[in-house]
Amino acid sequence: MSVGAPHVQGGIGQSIRRKEDARFIRGKGNYIDDVKMPGMLYLDITRSPYAHAKITAIRTERALKVPGVLAVITGKDLEAAGLAWMPTLMSDKQMVLPTDTVMYQAQEVAAVVADSRYAAADGAAAVEVDYEPLPVVTNPFKALEPGAPVIRTDRKEQSNHIWHWETGDKAGTDQLLTSSPVRVAQDLYIPRIHVSSMETCGCVAHLDSISGRFTIYMTTQAPHAIRTVLALVAGLPEQNIRVISPDIGGGFGGKVPVYPGYVLAAVAAIKTGHPVKWIEDRSENLQADSFARDYHIHAEVGATSDGKVTALKVKTLADHGYTDAAANPSKFPAGLFHIITGSYPFSKAFVEVDAAYTNKPPGGIAYRCSFRVTEAVYTIERMMDILAHRLKIDPA
């Protein structure tokens, strides 16, 4: 059998052999950690043990004494170059490295560049950071209470409320719900999930100092978005940046965001003139990479006593972590959540979503392209089941 050779088959109803299998089954794929360049350096990251804390000091002397360690990058270094913050994929910003405050556990605090993978890890463990713990807010309802500690003190609005979005006819929906013979209401929590692709995130960044062209191999699902963000952050013209996505060991939406590690590898490559590889390990991936869902939903459905739906009202609180880094296909901040009326003939509907900051990593990625469709579909179908049980009719 010749794998990968052209097959005389095709057309509707015919299975087509995949071209990539020929290399994958031989262990000859080209995933990000397989990329190797001459003179390549390695980057590892020191992370915060606190979910919310002031950084009072970062001492890099011990790390710099580790054999093989070449440089340590801190938030102050990046701030001097205007690189401490970068844009998210929504209209918010996120830290590359903090200059004074960490806002979630396992947040990046410093980056260590070394000539070996093991030396970089030794160096990252040797960076000494002094913290002054601050009150932690992990519950979005508590985050919006008066007197709650404000997480994003960098914003003009000294509040944990990010945005409010609503659609539909509020007064009409309330009126119809009140007059409906049957009403069911339910609180639903769709918890945070991590997509946990088999391959973690990482990249190899390289600046050709002669041509000025910057190349980055990375496990990204969104090379064009990454190129734009890199251009904005690094101040390089977009046409001088090439983003190469080799074989990807699963993405599921988790490889759409721009993570600080990518930018740190880019900075290190520009600073040292060497290619720099950054590969996160699984515990970093699970703690610090972006999450999906985290919607607290209250839904109410009105119906006639013979089971005809009348009105739908939904109030949702979205926990976005410390920044709004959601991946959305439209201008709507809650993605495609407005499809929540589903296939049901509601005469009136009203849907509102409020978003809050908490001391967690960014949320809102589109796990398996959900764009809040999963949250919406689960809610409406659950409400239909609850209504059917109340009316003692078959939910199907």
Partner 1 sequence: MAAAARPVSPAASLTSPGGTLVHVRVTVNGQPVVAEVEPRTLLVHFLREVLGLTGTHIGCDTTNCGACTVHLDGKPVKSCTVLAVQTDGRDVRTVEGLEVGGKLSPIQEAFVECHGLQCGFCTPGMMMTATALLARNPNPTEDEVRDAIRGNLCRCTGYVNIVKAIQLAGQKMQTTAAGAGGKP
**Amino acid found at 43:** L
Q: What is the DSSP letter of 301?
A: E
Site size toward partner 1 (CB under 8 A) is 43
- Cα separation, 77 vs 96, whole angstroms: 11
15 binds partner 1 (CB under 8 A): yes
Among 7, 10, 19, 34, binds partner 1 (CB under 8 A): 34
Measured CA to CA, the distance from residue 310 to residue 312 in angstroms comes to 7
Indicate which single residue of 7, 10, 19, 26 sits in contact with partner 1 (rule: CB under 8 A): 26
Please give the single-letter amino acid code of residue 197: S
Strand order in the sheet with 182-193: 161-168, 348-356, 309-319, 292-303, 182-193
Distance CA 187, CA 299 (A): 7
Residue type, 28: K
Q: Which is closer to partner 1, CB of 91 or CB of 283?
A: 283
Q: Hey, which residues between 282 and 301 contact partner 1 (CB under 8 A)?
A: 282-283
Q: Which is nearer to partner 1, 67 or 395 (CB)?
A: 67
What binding mask, one character per residue, do residues 198-227 give for partner 1 by CB under 8 A, x or -?
xxx---------------------------
Q: Smallest gap, in angstroms, from Cβ of residue 278 to partner 1?
A: 13
User: Looking at 7, 19, 61, 118, which residue binds partner 1 (CB under 8 A)?
Assistant: 118
Query: CA angle at residue 323 from 136 to 281, to 5 degrees?
Result: 85
> Other CB atoms closer than 10 Å to residue 88's CB: what's the count?
21
Instruction: Compute the C-alpha angle 342/369/218, nearest 5°.
Output: 170
Nearer to partner 1, 32 or 318 (CB): 32
- When computed from its CA atoms, the radius of gyration of the chain, rounded to whole angstroms, is 24
* 112, 72 contact by CB (below 8 A): yes
Is residue 7 close enough to count as binding partner 1 by CB under 8 A?
no
**At closest approach, how far in Å is the CB of 63 from partner 1?**
13
Contact by Cβ (8 Å): 324, 162 = yes
| Contact track, partner 1, 36-75, x by CB under 8 A | ----x-x-----------------------xxx-------
Task: Identify residues 230-259 at the interface with partner 1 (CB under 8 A).
Answer: 247-250, 252
Residue number, 91 or 196, with CB nearest to partner 1: 196
Site of interaction with partner 1 (CB under 8 A): 1, 3, 15, 17-18, 20-29, 31, 33-34, 40, 42, 66-68, 115-119, 122, 195-200, 247-250, 252, 281-283
